[in-house]
Amino acid sequence: MTAIDHTHDPAARTSVPGADGHPDFPIQNLPLGVFSEGDGARRAGVAIGDQILDLAAARAAGLLTGEAARAVAAAESGDLTGMLALGAGPRRALRHQLFALLRADGPESDRVPPLLHPAAACTLHLPARIGDYTDFFVGIHHATNTGRQFRPDQPLLPNYKHVPVGYHGRASSIRPSGVPVRRPHGQAKPPHLDAPVFGPSRRLDYELELGVWIGPGNDLGAPVPIAEAAGQVAGFCLLNDWSARDIQGWEYQPLGPFLGKSFATTISPWIVTPEALAPFRTAQAARPSGDPAPLPYLLDAADQAGGALDLELEIRLSTASSREAGASPHRVARSNARHMYWTVAQMIAHHTSGGCNLRPGDLLGTGTLSGPDPDSYGSLLETTEGGKVPIRLATGEERRFLEDGDEVILTARGIREGFASIGFGACRAVVLPAP
């Protein structure tokens, strides 16, 4: 596991105005991303407060050296795939040199301001070339809640507590936060009809997930042992696995979700590193003691002791009329990343156990991270019991599923006594009408 060091010191201050105490990006976070300004080229950057530091410019100014400079050079084309491929060493070197550069009493503090760009004036892009995208199903409360709608007597299938169930998702339609999502057309068969119909989805939903960026990857035929799986993780993001429940319900047998999901996936654009998240590591909590032990290829003592993440997650929703009225987004649910039945290392060890190769820039989704209570459910399918019980927003509006103009906002935050809080930035998108 990643060590706690001076870069996690909650007393550390930065020379960048306004960044100390920033809810997402204080100096203890330093997430990596790709930005552009105006019509400019895409550049690798790091978030600090409300600013983005241009990494290539910092390297060109001689402020990053050795392994850190090598990491930045690998991202000079304006995407981070090559940097992720280098693994933990260069990434940690970069974190340490950035921390030294940005701290309030740093010897080079006066050289920082020319490297900064106001985030509000920048566009954030997908940080890497996503080769393959795999979505897991490790949120056990979500698996139970959705399973119950189909099988009241046996919500969890027999394989759930043995297999980190996952499926291949669509990489081409993943977009960064802020890009609107078009309501899809699709084929569905409402229960009262004998034949399917084609039209705009009437049961559009969100799903609250974490995304995991893959670093070095593995060769085809060379599984990643569980004890080495954490070394494959380059970082984390938020992920909204938009779902058209009516399309999904009609299409998914026998080969799984397809067009019910492939129209859009939204991710937060900053890669929050394993180093930044070290203070929020915790023991695996979601596996009750009477459950079957994982098979040996999924079992590692260090992973059991610290392979889970304690991150507070929120879903908020604003409607077209609530935004017009100037109302704050309505908080629909609060959950936590601890509600994962399988750790990220278990997901990776399982994924590669048959020899499947992961490549730098591949993305994994955790699956929906619902908590045990209705106010912690990660999808409307669960919160409204499949559309039967509407939720009432602060504006008085009701929702069974998403309506055009709705904006869904996901956030994640690490909070732990003795450490600075950090966040992921927003993962948000507005629903546009069907074409």
Q: Where along the sequence are the contacts to a copy of itself (CB under 8 A)?
A: 131-132, 137, 147, 157-159, 162-163, 165-173, 175, 182, 184-187, 189, 195-198, 201, 220-223, 244, 247, 250-259, 262-264, 292, 295-297, 350-351, 353-359, 362, 435
Q: Would you say 60 or 171 has its CB closer to a copy of itself?
A: 171
The first and second tokens of residue 211, run together, are 């995304």
> One of 142, 330, 339, 350 is an active-site residue; which one?
142
Phi, psi (deg, nearest 5) at residue 89: -60, -60
The residues near 192 (Cβ < 8 Å, ≥ 6 apart) are none
Nearer to a copy of itself, 53 or 402 (CB): 402
Rounded to a whole number of angstroms, the minimum distance from the CB of residue 227 to a copy of itself is 16
Q: Least CB distance from residue 137 to a copy of itself, whole Å?
A: 6
Nearest distance from C-beta of residue 195 to a copy of itself, angstroms: 7
Compute the distance between CA of residue 189 and CA of residue 201 in angstroms, rounded to an integer: 11
Q: Which is nearer to a copy of itself, 183 or 330 (CB)?
A: 183
Closer residue to a copy of itself (CB): 45 or 164: 164
Radius of gyration of the chain (CA): 21
Three-state SS letters, 147-191? HHHHCCCCCCCCCCCCCCCEEEECCCCEEECCCCEECCEEEECCC
Residue 220 CB, nearest distance to a copy of itself (Å)?
Answer: 6
- Cβ distance to a copy of itself smaller for residue 131 or 216: 131
Phi and psi dihedrals of 122, rounded to 5?
-110, 155
Give the helix/strand (H/E) hosting 377: none
CB-neighbour burial class of residue 203 (10 A; exposed 0-12, middle 13-18, buried 19+): buried
**For residues 206 and 263, which CB has a smaller minimum distance to a copy of itself in the complex?**
263
What single letter denotes the amino acid at residue 94? L
Closest separation in Å from C-beta 136 to a copy of itself:
9
- The contacts of residue 383 (CB under 8 Å, 6+ apart) are 332, 333, 374, 377, 391
How far apart CA 24 and CA 427 sit, in angstroms, is 12
* Local structure of 395: helix, strand or coil: coil
Tokens, residue 301: 């003592």
Distance (Å, rounded) from C-alpha 36 to C-alpha 34?
7
Q: Are 367 and 225 in contact (CB under 8 A)?
A: no
Q: Say which residues have a Cβ less than 8 Å from residue 70's Cβ, sequence separation at least 6.
A: 86, 90
Report the nearest approach of a copy of itself to the CB of residue 175 (Å): 7
**Least CB distance to a copy of itself at residue 292 (A):** 7
Q: Which is nearer to a copy of itself, 362 or 407 (CB)?
A: 362
Helix (H, G, I), strand (E, B) or coil at 254: coil
Q: Is 142 annotated in the active site?
A: yes
Q: Which residues are catalytic?
A: 142
